[in-house]
């Protein structure tokens, strides 16, 4: 079976109709290469919302209040994960289960909408010009640079000496 394949609504409707005519979910799964849980989901969506339940839905942004309502409906044992998805028109059980997990760990505040995608770079703001260094600060900066350069040259010289001296073999 191919994962993450997007199916057209006609195909979904055809499988649902085949199931209603008496075909088994397992048989349809094997015949068309679609997981049986996916076919069950399509059947539930069709039974609850009709043919519109099988069409692709655009990305939806959920409010904190909506998420809390869904999570509380699940936690109070009013609805199962699948029933929550059908009742509130949420496309995936994974969305609801992640909300439940967040709610249990962080409470209601964890369900606030977060920004999607990468964070913006902080370097986009123009930098303020640095104030000029005093003569003392300039000399300290130069002194620090020269010390680092001196240490580097000493290490380089030590490595060169180590390479030149032949290593004695132990017998």
What pLDDT digit, counting tens, does each position of 85-120 carry?
878 878 778 888 988 998 888 888 778 766 667 777
pLDDT at 131 over 90: no
DSSP string, 43-103: HHHHHHHGGGGGS-----PPPHHHHHHHHHHHHTTSS-HHHHHHHHT-S-HHHHHHHHHHH
Indicate if the pLDDT at residue 52 is higher than 80: no
Of 111, 118, 122, 14, the closest CA to residue 66 belongs to 111
pLDDT in the model for residue 33: 86
More confident residue, 146 or 82: 146
pLDDT of residue 145: 95
């Amino acid at each position: 079976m191919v994962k993450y394949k997007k199916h057209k609504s006609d195909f979904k409707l055809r499988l649902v109709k085949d199931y209603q005519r008496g075909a088994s979910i397992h048989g349809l799964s094997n015949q068309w290469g679609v997981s049986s849980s996916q076919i069950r989901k399509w059947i539930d969506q069709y039974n609850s919302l009709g043919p519109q339940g099988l069409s692709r839905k655009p990305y939806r942004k959920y409010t904190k209040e909506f998420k809390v309502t869904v999570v509380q409906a699940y936690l109070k044992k009013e609805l199962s994960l699948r029933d929550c998805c059908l009742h509130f028109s949420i496309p995936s059980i994974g969305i609801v289960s992640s909300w439940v997990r967040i709610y249990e760990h962080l409470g209601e505040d964890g369900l606030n909408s977060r920004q999607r995608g990468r964070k913006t770079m902080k370097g986009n703001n123009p930098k303020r010009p640095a104030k000029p260094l005093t003569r003392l600060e300039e000399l300290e900066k130069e002194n620090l640079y020269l010390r680092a350069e001196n240490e580097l040259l000493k290490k380089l010289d030590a490595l060169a000496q180590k390479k030149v001296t032949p290593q004695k073999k132990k017998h």
